[in-house]
Amino acid sequence: MRLLVNGTERQLPAGSTVRDAVAATGADPDERGVAVALDDAVVPRSAWAQTALYEAARVEVLRATAGG
C-alpha cells in the first residue's frame, strides 16, 4: 500500500503497522522520545504494533531536536 510518511511517499506491505512506518524512516522503534501521528491523531507507543496502516494514510514520525 502507498502511504505518506513524513511527507514522503512510501510503499509498505499490506498488514504493516505504525511500528513498521517508524522503522521505515530509519528510526529505531524502541528509541524513546519518538512520537507518531496517524492522520493527525497521536498514536501512543503502546499501540504502535497493533495499529494497522491503510492505503493513503499520512504518518508523522517525530523526535526531539534542538529548539527553544
- Which residue in the block uniquely carries the three cell numbers 500500500? 1
Is residue 61 within 8 A of residue 5, CB to CB? The reply is yes
Residue with smaller CB distance to other proteins, 14 or 23: 23
Which string of x and - marks every residue 1-40 that binds other proteins (by CB under 8 A)? -----xx-----------------xxx---xxxxxxx--x
Return the DSSP state at 27.
-
Collapsed DSSP state (helix, strand, coil) of residue 26: coil
How far is 42 from 44, CA to CA, in rounded Å?
6
> Does 62 contact other proteins by CB under 8 A?
yes
CB of 34 to other proteins, least distance (A): 6
List residues near other proteins by CB under 8 A.
6-7, 25-27, 31-37, 40, 42-45, 60-68
